[in-house]
Amino acid sequence: MIGYVMLGTNDLHRAAKFCDTILAPLGLVQVARTETYAAYAPETAKDAIEFYVTTPYDQCKATPGNGTMIAFQAPTMQALEQFHEAGLKSGGSDEGAPGPREEDSTICYAYIRDADGNKICAFCDGPDG
């Protein structure tokens, strides 16, 4: 249903470096780069771009949306933990450590905010992915 997702940034170099780090454990890699965006796709399908980090087209300041969040599926709990740890080590802020959020649920989530304030989530179905 969703073709792709874009997040705005005020510093493309910083944002792309951050995304390179946090998306690698999830199997997503940077596959294209211009002066206005960096594009990411699954490592196994590099022509299937799913995510962009970009400077705003209208050349105004990028701001995070209130209530807006991007969520990526992690293949395993280990990848989920690596995503969260990489986000914190790369200058992101903690919005929720890896773990379940609902009682009796097997789905685990981890949340970070990037330097532009965008909320980014990764999730996986249980400890074994």
End-to-end alpha carbon distance in the chain = 23
- Whether residue 12 is predicted with pLDDT greater than 60 in this model: the reply is yes
CATH superfamily of 5-57+68-125: 2,3-Dihydroxybiphenyl 1,2-Dioxygenase, domain 1 (3.10.180.10)
pTM: 0.88
The predicted-structure confidence for 45-95, as pLDDT tens digits, reads as follows: 999 999 999 999 999 999 988 888 999 999 999 999 999 999 999 999 999
54 beta partners? 8, 37
Q: What is the pLDDT of residue 129?
A: 52
In the chain, where the domains are located: 5-57+68-125
Q: What is the pLDDT of residue 2?
A: 79
Cβ atoms of 7 and 53 within 8 Å: the answer is yes
